[in-house]
Amino acid sequence: MNVAQVLIPTKVAKAGMSVREVFKECSEANTPGLPFCDDNGLITGRITVKNILKRSCLPEYLVVMAKVLGEQISNVQDMEAVAKQLLKKPAELYTQEPHISLTSASSAIKALAMMEHSDTSYIFVVDDGQYKGVVTIHCLASKLAHDVHPSEDS
């Protein structure tokens, strides 16, 4: 199986997109992030849902104390209240370094190995400098679950 058989086509994030637009695309494509491209279509970074939420909604002290937090936390700003302003913000404020990538001709096992090596659950697919889509751990598992049938000899 090669990457072209499992990739998920997505939009790319660009300057001027809102956080809402990034969240919508990631949710619809069931992917944790999008490549960030310049006006020439060159991937210059990435934007992830996790990074946006971490930087905008999650104070560091809550992360440190996560295991001892109670069910109800008072005196902490409500996530929905933060979201009202966050969703309007320009997505480029949350751009990170470019993510790992491979070509659509690569094997799925190479994609899996690269994801494991980089401790991530997704990888971008780029052919000749053009973004084609993303491969995730979940799309690999889905392909295996639906397309690989147990042998009747077993």
Confidence band for 72, pLDDT divided at 50, 70 and 90? low
Average pLDDT over residues 77-106: 89
**Does 7 reside within a domain?**
yes
Kindly state the helix (H) or strand (E) to which residue 36 belongs, with its residue range: strand 33-37
The one-letter code for the residue type at 121 is S
Residue 69 lies in a domain: yes
| pLDDT for the residue 70 | 64
Domain CATH for 125: 3.10.580.10
- When mean pLDDT is compared across 6-10, 64-68, 116-120, 129-133, the lowest value belongs to 64-68
Strands 122-127 and 43-48: unpaired
Determine if the pTM surpasses 0.75. yes
Number of structural domains (the chain) is: 1
Classify residue 57: in a domain, yes or no: yes
Q: Examine residue 154 and state whether it is found in any structural domain, yes or no.
A: no
What pLDDT is attached to residue 47? 97
Task: Point out the least confidently predicted range of 45-49, 73-77, 104-108, 120-124.
Answer: 73-77
pLDDT on residue 84: 84
Residue 65: pLDDT band with limits 50, 70, 90 = low
Q: For residue 127, what are the contacts with CB-CB under 8 A and spacing of at least 6?
A: 103, 104, 105
Residue with tokens 């970074």: 45
Alpha-helical (H) ranges within 9-107 are 19-29, 49-57, 60-64, 79-86
Q: Judge whether 85 lies within some domain.
A: yes
Is 137 a member of any domain?
yes
Looking at every residue in the chain, the average pLDDT score rounds to: 88
3-class DSSP state of 108: helix
Question: How far apart are alpha carbons 139 and 122 in whole angstroms?
Answer: 9
Q: Is residue 153 part of a domain?
A: no
Q: Which domain holds residue 19?
A: 3-147
